[in-house]
């Protein structure tokens, strides 16, 4: 089964940001997940990561200032222009009227340390479109409407995903349709690792069971989807439910 490899340089990252307005039915995360429906043959969506950026009055955002980044496996890097066009059309069609959508596309190997640093900076200070344009030079970075402000977060989402140590998966394609009770070996075959939260817990064995509390929401650690688990009983590991976000 195909899955995400740690910092695989041939993966394509597609950052999307600022596609909705208050009350919109489709937020940025859903629009990014739906990219899988428009990818050409030879391009396979393997995951979508949500990032959380700085929330201050100086930054316009709808609710959470959270861009998304699709991770796509390509059979041929020559597909990039077709995927870029499909992404433009898709985001333009689904973005809310009055939003300021932006997209960024790059292979992992083309993401510079400066772009990664831009992603980290999106979490701690106010940045401008001029910053994004300067730092993202050479990548596909485009505003698709409004004031084009989404390019800042789209570039940041690509940078943080390539960085590999920040973000929460809102989709891992290899986990679709799987039950919430799996063996460690079954999850490993899907490319999902475990991180044990107890100090003195033993290492999980292949035959151990892993029970997910509500839904699969691994975090991005070391370029891979990782489930944070605790030992519920010998041979049994559990995740804790994600806390509800305050409106």
DSSP string, 185-237: HHHHHTT-EEEE-SSSPPPPPTT-EEE-SSS---EEETTEEEEEEEEEETTEE
Q: Does residue 244 or residue 172 have the better pLDDT?
A: 172
Give φ, ψ of 16 to 5 degrees: -135, 140
Reply yes or no on whether the pLDDT at 3 is more than 60: no
Arithmetic mean of pLDDT, 59-72: 82
Q: How far is CA 149 from the centre of its chain?
A: 19
Reply yes or no on whether the pLDDT at 152 is more than 70: yes
Determine if the pTM surpasses 0.75: yes
* Domain locations along the chain: 12-168, 178-238
pLDDT at res. 62: 66
Q: Does residue 22 or residue 90 have the better pLDDT?
A: 90
Give the Cα separation of 62 and 80 in Å (integer): 30
Reply yes or no on whether the pLDDT at 6 is more than 50: yes
Task: Check residue 178 and report its DSSP letter.
Answer: -
pLDDT at res. 192: 96
CATH architecture assigned to 12-168: 2-Layer Sandwich (3.30)
């Amino acid at each position: 089964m195909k899955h995400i490899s740690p910092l695989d340089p041939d993966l394509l990252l597609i950052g999307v940001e600022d596609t909705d307005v208050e009350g919109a039915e489709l937020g940025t995360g859903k629009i990014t997940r739906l990219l899988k429906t428009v990818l050409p043959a030879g391009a396979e969506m393997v995951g979508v990561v949500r990032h959380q950026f700085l929330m201050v009055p100086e930054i316009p955002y709808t609710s959470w200032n959270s861009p998304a980044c699709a991770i796509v496996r390509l059979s041929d890097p020559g597909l990039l222009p077709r995927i870029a066009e499909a992404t433009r059309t898709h985001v333009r069609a689904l973005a809310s009227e009055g939003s300021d959508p932006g997209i960024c596309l790059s292979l992992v190997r083309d993401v510079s340390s400066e772009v990664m640093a831009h992603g980290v900076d999106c979490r701690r200070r106010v940045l401008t479109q001029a910053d994004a344009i300067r730092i993202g030079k050479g990548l596909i970075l485009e505003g698709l409407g409004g004031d084009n402000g989404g390019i800042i977060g789209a570039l940041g989402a690509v940078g943080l995903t390539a960085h590999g140590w920040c973000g929460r998966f809102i989709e891992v394609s290899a986990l679709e349709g799987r039950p919430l009770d799996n063996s460690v070996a079954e999850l490993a075959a899907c490319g999902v690792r475990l991180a044990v939260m107890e100090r003195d817990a033993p290492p999980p064995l292949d035959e151990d069971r892993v029970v997910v509390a509500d839904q699969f929401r691994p975090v991005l650690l070391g370029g891979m989807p990782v489930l944070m688990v605790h030992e519920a009983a010998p041979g049994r590991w559990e995740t804790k439910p994600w806390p509800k976000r305050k409106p």
